[in-house]
Structure 1
Amino acid sequence: MIGIQRKIWTLTAVVMFIMAVIWITLTYYNQKTQEQYNDILQRYLRMNEVTTASQQLITSLNNYRLTPTEGNLSSLRSREHQLKNVQWSVGMLRNEQNDFALTSYMNLVDSLIEATDRSVMFHSEKETEDSVNAFAEATRISRYISEMTLTLLDKDIHTYEQSYRQMIKQSNEFKQLGVLILLTITFILLLFTYWFSLSITHPIQQLTRAAQELAKGRFDLQVKVNSTDEISFLARMFEHMRININNLILEIQQNAQLESELQRSKLLLKESQLRSLQSQINPHFLFNILDTLSKKAFLEGAEETSDLLVSVAGLLRYNLKRLDRSVTLYNEVNVIQQYMEIQKARFTDRLHVETDIDDSCLHVPIPGLTLQPIIENAIIHAVEPDENGGTIRISIQDLGEQVQVRIADDGPGMSPEKIQQILDEYPLENEGHSTGIGFNNVIQRLRLFYGTDDVIEIISSPGKGTTVILNLPKKGRNTAHDEAANRG
């Protein structure tokens, strides 16, 4: 199967290849032409440099004759050296047409240098007349060099005239070829682009017509698309969908009657789950409390022990009578106050409790025995393991449509994985609550009671404590039923 992406890459590759070929051809032609022009230009420049260097040498020689100083002599020798370098570079321009003339040209340069040296020698030996004659000869040779330069340039012009004409002809031919290539490439690209677009749009049009027929309810027409790319896969999926829709219509009609019965069964199942979860209580809780009370009675007088007994009795009555129905936050607050009195007796000054409770929102319904297991979990993990104890903060605030309950501790905290494990109601190991009603039990009862999973939130990180947040709707899903049960 040739995919659409592969087709696009193929088109891109073809365009890039054509552009590369054109670029390489133009670059090669321009480079070749430029090299020819540079070669001819260098010949002219080197010959012209000989004329210039010879004239500068005569000028330096005249300056030395007028003022024979070491500086002028050094400048003269520098000009001679420069003329020799230029002479050597001109020798590289030798060819069959200018071999004889170029040999004479280079001999003139040698003669100029020799005449210059003789003039300097005679001048240093005070032979003025010989020095003047040598200077005159050097001047005459310099003029010959200038004339010979023009002669050589003229020969080079005639020699390379055919090359000039050939270059101009090639340039015109290349222009015509460029226009032809451009038109050919444009035509090929137009054909390729048309084929490419047609291979995509035609199957899409077929698929669109099939979709329109399906939208009209004509599920008896087969969906068929002529394509070898991803659109053929879509066509097969449409055909599969057409077949499944007919089957689904029959299934929907058959299952319509069963849907209402299934909903009623789900409600009964949730109710039974709620009753089952609320019935879990471990007698071991009683043993822990009684052990605490016995130690307290041994160490102190009867008044404080009596208060603890009252708190225990109230807590036991609440646990035994309120698990099968909803209560209010007011009831839960009273219970956790009694529970905290018991825990303060157990941990003494190791346990610190801070409360911030808005009494105006304590009428909100909540499943019985919800807050106490959360606080107990905080005490077990944040206060009990630490020699210095810890702090439990309880806050109840009115947020309009909801009442928010926050229970925070300054314990070791939890990892994000552990938090997700708890919220997913995954069974935890070593969850030793004295009431037997663990965190998972509380989460399940809250979600069943309010009919939503967003009722509880846990904020924690290792070393930064844990905060459990309950977002309680002011009207619980089971409010009306439980109010009637409470009145009964």
Structure 2
Amino acid sequence: MINKVTSGLTWKILSVIRFYRNISIKKKMFLILYIQILIPLIFIGYFSFKTSENLIVEKSKSYSNELLSLVELRLQDTINNLNIISQDLSNDEGIYSALLNYDGNGINKLQDYEVRSHIINAFQQIIPTRTEVSAMCIVTNTVRVIEYDRSSLESDIKSVVLQNYTEIQQLARKAGGSTVWFFDADENAYLVKMIYNKDNYKEMGLSVAQIDKACFEAALGGPESELMMNLTIISPEGTIIYCRNYDSFNKYAEAIQETPNGINGKDKIFIASRTLNDLRWRIATYIPLKQLYVDVEGLRTSMILICLVAILLLSIVSFFVSFDMIKPINQLVNAMKGMNIDKISSSYIEIDRNDELGFLQKTFNTMTKEMDHLVNWIYREQLTRKEAEIKALQSQINPHFLFNTLESINWMAQLNNVPEISDTVSDLSTLLDISIGRDDRLITIEEEFIYIDKYISLLKRRFEDKITLIKEVDPQVLYVKIPRLLIQPLIENAVYHGVENNRGKGIITLVANIKDGLITIEVIDNGTGISSEELAKLNNEMNLDNNTYFKSLSSKKNKSIGIENVNRRIKLFYGENYGLKIESKVYIYTKVSVTLPVQIHNTKEGYYVQGSNN
């Protein structure tokens, strides 16, 4: 697995390197400049953003802690004042005396009325001075509730106490004479305190005061900041004692429970809270990160704008710098692309600078001059070499041809001793004139075929009717010029290597036509043919380029004269793409095909000369 990962990583790195090497220098310069400027800029912007973000969080923590400390002090003062109200209520002499004299049987209505009157009078003295209290009541041991409401004599406090009496009584007993808070189903707040007999410390009743939550608002102060606007007080049981923004709190209630302090990434809010020591009330506040980071967002926007402006300026500067550096490089590249043998001298570059690129241009111009000199020298040398090679090839054909012709005359003289010898000598004279060449270095195919007719005429004097020449020639071919003696050696080869050894009548077919701008000339005989191994060897030699062929001549023991020399002459004159192709089947036929271009581009140098005038 590790090897696969390493191989994949290596392949990706190599791909990036390959991509970088293949792009243009202009793109490389843009890429490097962007990397040098943008990457540091992005890193600086990113770390500035993160640093600002962290600073804001730290400052928010510090500010929220100070704010919650102040809120805690105010809240504690408010709770202490409310506890004093409960203490005053339970220590009131009128209430204590009324509870002390109350027998609880409910038979003496006069006594019951007097107790109620004493307690109501005590309430009327306490409540007007305590705006935090909405309603108050005393609960006797017989669960008789004597209540008083600020707005009316009838209040909901009685129903609440009766519905939750057992729970309220347990809370009061557990507090052991201290005040305790109770919250009903509607989250109304009540201060509860057990009243004991001062002599025997027996329970005499309960004092219950309903607290107006508006007192918390007055105590905690107004919403001076976003944190104060979201201030919430929660009891240990999860009851909302006080909340300034219920809609927002309900949205983030779960997050506030999950994250007492810090950032909740799920809901994207910052939360701070403190807990009152005695009551374990939790004072919590929060602010969405979007509001907390509003300044950071402005910084990020500024950084993005700075990056965009930097990219724009960088692009402008890069364009001018790259244009100044790429222009001379492109001049060099275009000059190199346009350079060829015929246009070396026209590849010079105008120099208008003295830096390293100017030095390259000067060096290129110097190199161009040297190349122009060398190419011209080598070109003339190659022309001379080819002309010498062609003359050497043609000089090989002439002795061979003369030898065969003289042999034919000798046979005729010995066998016949007749006047036909003069005709033979006449034909021979014509062929010798062709071989030597006098005026035109190129002749038409029609003239070449006339020479072939003369040659066949000579051969018929030897072989009589054993040899027949059939010509299938497109008339358009006759007016195309080719080098001398290009086809005649192929006829000669067909006679001596094909039909001469054939017991039957030898037929040589000469086919010539034009198709798709190419001349195709085929010499076909019905002789003995060539074996597949020898045929493959011959065709391989036909396909050799000129340099390889001439190098191999020194190592060849049996140097062929006819077909190979014609093939070399064609390649030297027309190019490496042209030449001979041989097809054969043993005892059936042999076909030699010549392919030549119709248009011949003559040059000033006559390196294809058939003969010499000297």
Structure 1-normalised TM-score?
0.46
Higher relative contact order (CA 8 A, sep 6+): 1
Q: Report which of the two has the higher share of strand.
A: 2
Structure 2-normalised TM-score?
0.38
Q: Report which of the two has the higher share of helix.
A: 1
